[in-house]
Amino acid sequence: MGIELLFNVDNLKLIAEAPRTDPLFDALRTHISSSQPQLLSTLPFLMAGFTDAMKKRRPLLPSGSASTSDTHSLVTWFFSSCEAILHGVGDLQGNQVWRSRLDLLKVVEDESLFSLRNENMAALLQEEVDACVGCLDAVDGKFLW
């Protein structure tokens, strides 16, 4: 029920019109940075809910935002915003950060969000590969969890 309220048609229209000013991510950044890392586990749930809402409500969005490419752009933006929060936590080797990152990537896989035609998503996923390699290099082959 909460996801339907969070991502109702009116909120999706606001996000589609000005995705960079979404209050949801402002609130998440504030609460996560104030030592509430358990909120990281909500990011994949929110990503899945947003993706589902965009698919269901695409015809109800303004015509410029209703196209498949615009929908993919918004979902890519949402993924990018989730990843920015994970990177902003600072402890890139933390268990919760990596669990959340893996769960986000699972949503990308389950929803078939990756496509070679979507250059933005491909670039984001390449950044994640680079972050993974950097983390593995930093721990010098030790187990992360």
57: in domain: yes
* 114 in Cβ contact with 54 (< 8 Å): no
7 is a domain residue: yes
**Domain count for the chain:** 1
Residue 145 resides in a domain: no
Rg (C-alpha) for the chain, rounded Å, is 16
Is 14 domain-assigned?
Answer: yes
Q: Cβ contacts of residue 88 below 8 Å, gap of 6+?
A: 29, 32, 33
Q: What is the pLDDT of residues 2-41, one digit of tens each?
A: 888 888 888 888 887 777 777 877 887 787 766 666 778 8
Report the pLDDT averaged over residues 113-117.
74
Instruction: Identify the DSSP state of 67.
Output: S
61 lies in some domain: yes
More confident residue, 133 or 80: 80
The predicted pLDDT at position 92 comes to: 53
- From CA 78, how far away is CA 140, in angstroms rounded? 32
Query: From CA 95, how far away is CA 102, in angstroms rounded?
Result: 11
Look at residue 40 and tell me if it is in a domain.
yes
pLDDT surpasses 60 at 67: no
- Whether 59 is covered by a domain: the verdict is yes
The confidence score (pLDDT) of residue 132 equals 72
Question: According to the model, what pLDDT value does residue 143 have?
Answer: 55
**Domain with 82 in it:** 2-138
Predicted structure pTM score: 0.78
Residue 65: pLDDT band (50, 70, 90) is: very low
Return all residues near 57 (Cβ < 8 A) that are at least 6 apart: 7, 9, 12
